[in-house]
């Protein structure tokens, strides 16, 4: 997959994906943001204050790889986070950040392993997410998170922001959305199973399914 070459089609894809994620309760209000990398190297993002259930194709923002606003409405205040992932992962062409309820709930738990928050409970989680590092809390829009996110994204295409929510990158927007949905479902299972003895995949089983993602 190369960067998105048809901007009109990319805008339609962002809006269609945003509506799907919002309509299934994976984010709420004006939370969450999506982006794709265009062929000219610029990023097309959902704007600040926009609900993913109502954002329009004409309302998308454009930034460069530093997060600098180029045109359109003011971008999401987390544009720097998207830019960090793209700089770290040159073959990633889409980033999704949500406040999905179960993943956000897990991000608030104490005693988490910051190197890998969730166990590989299912084969699909092992395939689409792999390992999930936890990044320490930063206030929404705090650009101080950018350098840490960029370093972590060099070796992981998915992260969980403490007391906040997940971020995933993919070669396509569909791939990034699939990964964040699998992450949310595994977070839900993890919470359902708390207090029970679980049988996650073994390290060998998980390694055999590890995602070969950008």
- 123's CB contacts (< 8 A; 6+ apart) are 201, 205, 209
Q: How far apart are the C-alpha atoms of 107 and 163, rounded to whole Å?
A: 5
Question: How many Cα neighbours within 13 Å face the side chain of 55?
Answer: 36
Q: How far apart are the C-alpha atoms of 54 and 187, rounded to whole Å?
A: 26
Token pair, residue 42, equals 């610029």
Q: Whose CA is closest to 45, among 91, 16, 66, 14?
A: 14
The catalytic residues are 78, 124
Strand, helix or coil for residue 69: strand
Contact between residue 114 and residue 43 where contact means Cβ atoms under 8 Å apart: no
Q: How far apart are the C-alpha atoms of 21 and 57, rounded to whole Å?
A: 16
């Amino acid at each position: 997959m190369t960067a998105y070459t048809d901007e009109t089609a990319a805008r339609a894809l962002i809006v269609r994906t945003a509506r799907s994620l919002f309509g299934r309760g994976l984010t709420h209000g004006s939370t969450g943001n999506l982006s794709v990398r265009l062929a000219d190297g610029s990023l097309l993002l959902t704007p600040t204050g926009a609900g993913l259930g109502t954002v329009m194709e004409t309302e998308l923002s454009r930034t460069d790889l530093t997060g600098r606003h180029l045109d359109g409405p003011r971008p999401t205040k987390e544009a720097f986070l998207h830019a960090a992932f793209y700089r770290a992962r040159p073959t990633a062409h889409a980033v999704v950040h949500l406040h999905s309820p179960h993943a956000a709930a897990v991000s608030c738990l104490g005693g988490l392993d910051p190197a890998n928050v969730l166990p590989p409970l299912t084969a699909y989680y092992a395939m689409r997410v792999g390992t999930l590092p936890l990044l320490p809390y930063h206030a929404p829009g705090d650009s101080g998170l950018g350098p840490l996110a960029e370093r972590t994204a060099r070796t992981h295409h998915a992260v969980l922001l403490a007391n906040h929510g997940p971020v995933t990158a993919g070669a396509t927007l569909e791939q990034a959305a699939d990964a964040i949905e699998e992450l949310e479902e595994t977070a839900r299972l993890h919470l359902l199973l708390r207090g029970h003895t679980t049988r996650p995949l073994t390290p060998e089983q998980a390694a055999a399914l590890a995602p070969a993602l950008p």
